[in-house]
Amino acid sequence: MKVNKIMTVKLLLSLVIVLGFATSCSKKSSTKNASTATGWKINDKKGGFQFASNFKKQATGPGLVMVEGGTFTMGKVQDDVMHDWNNTPNQQHVQSFYMDETEVTNIMYMEYLDWLKRVFPPEQENYKNIYEGASPDTLVWRNRLGYNETMTNNYLRHPAYANYPVVGVNWIQAVEFSKWRTDRVNESTLETQGYLKKDAKVLDVKAEAVFSTETYLNAPTKAFGGDEKIVLKGPRNSKSKPVKTKGTKENPSTETAAKNVYAQRTSGLILPEYRLPTEAEWEYAAAADVGQREYNIYKGQKKYPWSGSYTRSGKRQVRGDQLANFKQGKGDYGGIAGWSDDGADITNSVKSYPPNDFGLYDMAGNVAEWVADVYRPIVDDEASDFNYFRGNVYTKNKIGDDGKVELVTSESQKFDTLSNGRIMARNFPGQITQVPVDEKETYLRQNFDKSDERNYRDGDKQSTRYFDFGSSEEEDAKSKDKHKMYDSPQHNVTVDSLGKMIRKYDKSNKRTTLINDDVRVYKGGSWRDRAYWLDPAQRRYFPQDMATDYIGFRCAMSRVGAKADKKKRARN
């Protein structure tokens, strides 16, 4: 009997423990999605606050490689043989970001052109300048004393050059490609997740019905021309179904539609925009000093994107092979035919040479690359040493008389005539119309004071050549133009009443510089450059509306969330 009593007590205790554990689990599970601010349930099917509580980390977009941010010395490594002193060393910190593994290739850019041609047929009068404005300038290959017609006719479109970096693209075209790529990647993601009709991006797309990421986020009912058959209310086979309430005799049951049926930023599905990297990001990624890190210091500064002071490999199996594609001397663009040349006369197929320590290919040689920055001779590290960038032009969504965002239409679409006469689309139908920020955003702010900040601390009144300290007189436009810091040529293109383009060259012999707010930095050596320009710190500039046969580009994307995916631990 005594044994039985003991067994009974043990059994009861076990039951109490099990029930207690079950109760605690029940409480834990019930509070899993509860707000720590209010205790309310998050993601309740009946409505209320909806949030992607299961979000883990940002997805890596197509073609991108993660570059963990950090501090580095931005600026020259080699002697300043040009004596221009425009890349003096300064300490900068760059946030983590993503960058294209390779330069944008011909086949990638051809996909963009094909989409434009299908959606905005160039044979239609109101769209005729869209495709042509985005097309690379194939005439960049021509040379007065050289036979390059083969590249002029074949380099962009022939499959033999499919994986070669695209050239003949100006800075503005590179920016527009990046915007287009953002929309296509997010469009594909939302289709996969069931927020957009399957294959609509191919079968249903047209000029009046295209997908724009910002339009979808701000006015989802207007995306794809407002077609509800394409822009779906919630993902397919999801739990976003109408909610039924229990009814009584007095109050019959009701059915309410599920809330938050469109993807939002809080969904965690929309990727940040593809864009050109900043100069600081590009240089940091190219140098890849992480490959020679010793605890919290770098063991010296790299001369090239690879370790060492030479352009040839020291590895046993490939000793003597060139590590990049560049001009090795006068009349020597690749070396002697056969063993150990650099394998290219002009550009080369991407991934033909080893990657750097971030896994990025061709950060030296092949083609130089556009970056986002407006060029100035000095990097103003006194004003900013975090995510440095010169070129901010802040805009906002235009709000119509109905209080809603205003979309671009084929009638309101704007085109810009560049200084070289090329006509390019400023925006596309289906996008949100942008206007400069005004006093509503700038009033009493300390961090920015106007829409266009390209001239900040350089070219403003205080830094003009004729600055009169303490003068309060307002200058007219003509005086401002006369007194501005950079006196560059001002070529002009106008169209007369008959539609004829008139090109006016600035032939003044009083111009003192080529620098203005429309010249952009390009980085890295190219197939046309000597080894001196392979140094990631070297910087040059070129007009943003002009193209060459040696400048290409690659895209970057900001990282949201944690600096790195993995937790840091002791080296040993």
pLDDT in tens, 328-380: 999 999 888 877 788 899 999 999 999 999 999 999 999 999 999 999 998 98
- Report the pLDDT value the prediction gives residue 256, as an integer from 0 to 100: 54
Q: By the 8 A CB rule, do 448 and 394 touch?
A: yes
Lowest mean pLDDT among 57-61, 358-362, 485-489: 485-489
> Which residues does residue 523 pair with via DSSP β-bridges, in sequence order?
369, 539
Please tell me which residue, 75 or 297, carries the higher pLDDT value.
75
What b-and-e string marks burial along 407-444, b requiring 16 or more CB atoms within 10 Å of the CB?
bbeeeebeeebbbeebbbbebbbbbbbbeebeeeeeee
Contacts of 551 (CB under 8 A, 6+ apart): 167, 169, 367, 368, 369, 370, 522, 526, 542
Query: What is the pLDDT averaged over residues 26-38?
Result: 68
- Report the pLDDT value the prediction gives residue 560, as an integer from 0 to 100: 95
- Report the pLDDT value the prediction gives residue 184, as an integer from 0 to 100: 97
- Report the pLDDT value the prediction gives residue 29, as an integer from 0 to 100: 45
Rg value, the chain, Cα: 29
Given CA atoms 107, 108, 109, 115 in this order, what sign does their dihedral have? Answer: positive
Percent of the chain past pLDDT 70, that is, above it, reads 84
Q: Which of 100-109, 117-126, 283-292, 423-432 has the highest mean pLDDT?
A: 100-109
Q: By the 8 A CB rule, do 552 and 106 touch?
A: no
User: pLDDT per residue over 127-144, tens digit each?
Assistant: 989 999 999 999 999 999
Please tell me which residue, 249 or 33, carries the higher pLDDT value.
33
Which domains, from first to last, does the chain contain? Answer: 59-193+269-391+518-563 (3.90.1580.10), 455-516 (no CATH)
CA distances from 102 to 62, 163, 371, 539, 560 (A): 12, 10, 15, 20, 22
Please tell me which residue, 291 or 553, carries the higher pLDDT value.
553
Q: By the 8 A CB rule, do 291 and 356 touch?
A: yes
- Report the pLDDT value the prediction gives residue 480, as an integer from 0 to 100: 59
Which token pair is 522? 């390009």
Confidence of residue 318 (pLDDT cuts 50, 70, 90): confident
**How many alpha carbons fall within 13 Å on the CB side of residue 52?**
13
Query: What is the pLDDT averaged over residues 200-215?
Result: 94
User: pLDDT per residue over 508-564, tens digit each?
Assistant: 887 878 888 999 999 999 999 999 999 999 999 999 999 999 999 999 999 999 998
* 462 pLDDT higher than 80: no
User: pLDDT per residue over 558-572, tens digit each?
Assistant: 999 999 887 777 665
Rounded-to-integer distance, Cα 211 and Cα 231, Å: 9
Which token pair is 112? 């963009």
